[in-house]
Amino acid sequence: MSNKQKKKLTITQQEYQAFAKTREPQRPVLANTVKAFVAGGFICALGQGVADFFIWNFDFTEKTAGNPTVAVLIFISVVLTALGVYDHLAQWAGAGTAVPVTGFANSIASAAIEHRSEGYVLGVGGNMFKLAGSVIAFGVFAAFVVSLVRTLFTMSGGS
C-alpha cells in the first residue's frame, strides 16, 4: 500500500493492515517458478515435436512448419479448454501456461464457452472477440512502432 493511501487510513485501520500483512501466507515463489518452467517447457517441447513431425513426415522446411504447428497447438489448447483440463493445468502451472499461443487460445475459448448460453453471435462471438480485439489492436500498434523505429534507424545510416 502506498504512503498516500496509508495517510487516509485511521490508526486502527493501519494497525489492521500491519496485522493482516503478518498473517498473510508466504507465496512459494521458487516452487511456482519451477512449475511454470516445467509447464512452459513442456508446451514448447510439444510445439517443437509437432514442428519436427511436419518437417520429417510432410517435407516442410523449418520456416513452413511454423503455421501448421501453431494451428495444432491452438487446436490442442481449445480442446483441453473445452474439456476443462487446461484450467486445471493453468491452476497448477500458473504463468507457464501463458506460453504464447496456447494461453491466448485458452483465454479466447474460455470466453466463448462461458457466454455460449447467450447465443452464438452475441454470446460466443461477441465475448470471444472482446479479448482478441484488444490483443490484436495492441499487436498492430506494437508492430507499427517497431517498424517505424526500424525505418528511422535504417534511414539514419544504421544497419
Q: How is residue 137 written as a grid cell?
A: 489492436
47-51, 85-89, 115-119: lowest mean pLDDT where? 115-119
At residue 75, the pLDDT reads 95
At residue 6, the pLDDT reads 52
Mean pLDDT calculated for residue range 68-95: 93
Q: What share of the chain is helix, strand, coil (3-state, %, to 5)?
A: 85, 0, 15
**What is the b/e burial string over 65-83, where b = at least 16 CB atoms within 10 angstroms of the residue's CB?**
beeebbebbbebbbebbee
22 Rama sector, left if φ>0, alpha if ψ -120 to 50, beta otherwise:
alpha
Q: What is the spatial distance between Cα 55 and Cα 143, in angstroms, rounded to a whole number?
A: 29
Q: What is the spatial distance between Cα 150 and Cα 114, in angstroms, rounded to a whole number?
A: 41
Domain boundaries, the chain: 26-114
Helix (H, G, I), strand (E, B) or coil at 102: helix
The pLDDT of residue 159 is above 70: no
Between these two residues, 158 and 101, which has the higher pLDDT value? 101
**What pLDDT band is residue 91 in, cutting at 50, 70 and 90?**
very high
Q: In this structure, is the dihedral angle defined by the CA atoms of residues 106, 111, 114 and 116, taken in order, positive or negative? A: negative
**What pLDDT band is residue 2 in, cutting at 50, 70 and 90?**
low
